[in-house]
A and B are shown apart, each in its own frame.
Chain A
């Protein structure tokens, strides 16, 4: 694979001046082409009617399994729960060793050490949310401390949230600088920037946030925390996919996409992969560039996998409940 420039360095020279001031950044973000919501949603729905069968389905199901950030983000999380999840992440289907491992396990920072220990040597990454997830309502130094704690505990990937309040108030440079600060604190780790698209509310905002995140050095842009009413949808993920496609065309830098929250069925996951395939293309069909933030999705993918392999649908008692 050719070496792909990484996002960590921040905006490429061609776009360096757009982050020179709040006014310049605002002009740039507001100069991006608008998004017509009716047309966007129609396109996402039309791609949802693709009929993915037989060999294509087998490919898509395995790819989707390999792209999961298997997630538990509950107040009731315990070391035992995280260890069980890590075992599942390494070997999703104990009855079928051909099932791929998932991409990562995603936990709160205080449980990252447990995950790191459980996943050691497996190739499955440890992702930790940070920066006062999910609301992001904390002082900047607290967010940085949160990030450092996650890294110290062994996190390979950091899922940060942006300050939606600052974004909606139009303080784009402040959001940018906060992402830059986390980016620097998390040097060496892959950084996923969560916009909480359900709170940004408009597709225009989602497109602006996408570019803001990429300019600030995100390795992944991510829709949602999974903690608000509207999480990943085909339409808001399509906006992200268009943004990473256009950003690479403009800068040569490739950025990943992670829809999260609300994707529960294999059928839905395959629809998202169709969006990736027909918007960003082949180069994103890999868990280095596309992830699903999900928990219950994995079992449905495994059941569909079994169905495809055996011709029978065994039901939920034939996959593990964690």
Chain B
């Protein structure tokens, strides 16, 4: 049903763009100052919903990595020498400034990433602030975290983050690193550098000593130079499994500590006694949250064959109500795909689904004329052999498979090189426990999906990576 025929058609409700002031150009943030790249190179950051150029950003190269790591090294001695309570104060201050500027940051993130304002406002930004608050609280209690009586920071952390949750991934990386007394050089993704640069401004606003946080916008070459730098003690990466493997090879034998948070192909298992209406919401949230560009997305729906038709009918009915469009509109559920490159990848894999004989169903919605868009899509008749069931699509595409018994559900869910997330939907508590126990995934959600909390550790099995972020466990990666 199209919008014009609806009785109750929601009028446009755009969040104001004027709450954020994006400069025409940005530098790198090194040693407390914004500077040009040594070789003067720049790149453009584009709004994926409109293809409008938002700003021109300095592009870090090897010389800039050198400068930033040196600055972080210089800052390390005094930063790590501060009492934990003092470091905590800075983190609390950063958390509060993030809350105060959350509307501005939400609009910025929506513009630069393409995700709906509803998500940046209600999910990303509250979680970002919560992460800083949480690790601020640990800063003076590290001796009680279970890693020895007097754990020490590692030194300089080189951190490379993806474009799907730019500011949230930054928080996951920077908050525990600083709480533990490390200094950081962070490279945001080339398609979403802006919120990290606003964060640099927040560091200055909070009076954070220079060199403790350095931000190097740039491409893969800058990330490679950063992780390979001999004076980096710790590498943390979130992104694709292919790049994660390269990084693992690059740091092998160097003595650097490494955590990797990589891809996933999460199974969302719906049993015949599931609470159907809530399961449908969980399936929708599991794969269409952030346009499916989520490493822990529930991209494989495993539904018990006896209720498959009922669940699919309900799911399609629900998908028809999703509102795709202007990400700044407060009623938008589905925003833009982050880049032309990602859209091409999603399109290619979806086409492979057709070619391999799965049945495609697309939610009835109109795609805007400019920008990068992909309508919510599901494939039925998918088997374990299909590429859409095996490869991470990282887009709003759900593969639907069926199973007959709990044992078959577990076997199919585990039959993937990944192991990041899974969901179990059943009203039977004993089944939740039994199935969760046998799923090889870093996080298993029961009767919910994509729930995040800074107190809860997050991370993968197998090709989804290693190390945990969040919670007490997240401290371990930054302490010795």
| A residues lining the B interface (CB < 8 Å) | 33-36, 38-40, 42-43, 49-57, 59-60, 63, 242, 273-274, 277-278, 282, 285
Contacts and interface: CB of A to CB of B under 8 A. Distances in A.
A84 B118 CA distance: 44
Contact of A242 (B13, B277, B427): B277
B122 interface: yes
Contact of A51 (B6, B7, B13): B13
Contact of B447 (A38, A55, A63): A38
B11 A43 contact: no
Contact of A39 (B9, B12, B118, B281): B281
13 contacts: A33-B273, A35-B278, A36-B275, A39-B277, A39-B278, A39-B447, A39-B448, A40-B277, A49-B330, A55-B9, A60-B8, A277-B8, A278-B321
Nearest to B314: A246
The A interface, classified by DSSP as helix, strand, loop or mixed, is helix
Given A38-B448, A39-B448, A52-B13, A273 B277 contact: no
Nearest to B426: A34
A49 B122 contact: yes
A34, A53, A278, A285 — which one has the most chain B CB atoms within 10 A of its CB? A34
B274 A33 contact: yes
A279 to B, nearest CB: 9
Contacts of A59: 7-8
A60 to B, nearest CB: 7
B125 to A, nearest CB: 14
B122 A34 contact: no
Contacts of A39: 275, 277-278, 281-282, 447-448
Nearest to A242: B277
Interface in B1-55: 1, 6-13
Contact of B278 (A43, A49, A53, A55): A43
A279 B276 CA distance: 14
A63 B241 CA distance: 53
A31 to B, nearest CB: 10
A206 to B, nearest CB: 13
B268 interface: no
Interface in B97-124: 118, 122
B7 A282 contact: yes
Contacts of B448: 36, 38-39
A51 B275 contact: no
B363 to A, nearest CB: 14
Contacts of B118: 49
Contacts of B11: 52-57
B182 interface: no
Contacts of A57: 11
A33 B426 CA distance: 10
B331 interface: yes
The B interface, classified by DSSP as helix, strand, loop or mixed, is loop
Across the A-B interface, the 4 shortest Cβ-Cβ residue pairs: A39-B278, A51-B13, A51-B330, A36-B275
A43 B274 CA distance: 16
Nearest to A245: B317
Contacts of A242: 277
Contacts of A40: 277-278
A43 B330 contact: no
B10 A52 contact: yes
Nearest to B446: A36
Nearest to A63: B8
B331 A36 contact: no
Interface size, B (range): 20 to 34
A273 B278 contact: no
B13, B278, B281, B321 — which one has the most chain A CB atoms within 10 A of its CB? B278
A284 B8 CA distance: 11
A33 B428 CA distance: 12
B9, B10, B11, B427 — which one has the most chain A CB atoms within 10 A of its CB? B10
Contact of A56 (B1, B10, B274, B282): B10
Interface in B322-347: 330-331
A56 B331 CA distance: 12
A136 B274 CA distance: 34
A207 B414 CA distance: 35
A41 to B, nearest CB: 10
A55 B4 CA distance: 13
A59 B8 CA distance: 7
Nearest to B307: A33
Interface in B211-263: none
Contact of A34 (B1, B9, B273, B330): B273
Given A36-B447, A56-B9, A51 B278 contact: no
Contacts of B122: 49
Contacts of A285: 7-8
Contacts of B427: 34, 36
Contacts of B274: 33-34
Contacts of A274: 8
Nearest to B449: A39
Given A49-B118, A53-B11, A273-B8, A42 B281 contact: yes
Contacts of A273: 8
Nearest to A40: B278
B8, B12, B273, B448 — which one has the most chain A CB atoms within 10 A of its CB? B8
A39 B118 CA distance: 18
Contacts of A51: 10, 13, 330-331
Interface in B124-182: none
Nearest to B9: A56
Given A49-B118, A53-B10, 16 more contacts: A35-B275, A35-B277, A36-B275, A40-B278, A50-B331, A51-B330, A52-B11, A55-B11, A56-B10, A60-B8, A63-B8, A242-B277, A273-B8, A282-B6, A282-B8, A285-B7
A43 B282 CA distance: 10
B10 A50 contact: yes
A218 to B, nearest CB: 21
A33, A54, A57, A278 — which one has the most chain B CB atoms within 10 A of its CB? A33
A43 B281 contact: yes
Contacts of A38: 278, 447-448
Contacts of B282: 39
A144 B95 CA distance: 63
A49 B117 CA distance: 12
B248 to A, nearest CB: 38
B1, B122, B331 — which one has the most chain A CB atoms within 10 A of its CB? B331
B201 to A, nearest CB: 29
A59 to B, nearest CB: 6
A273 B7 CA distance: 11
A224 B10 CA distance: 29
Contacts of B273: 33-34
Contacts of B12: 53
Given A50-B10, A56-B11, A33 B276 contact: yes
A43 B273 CA distance: 20
Contacts of B331: 50-51
Contacts of A56: 8-11
Nearest to A283: B7
Nearest to B447: A36
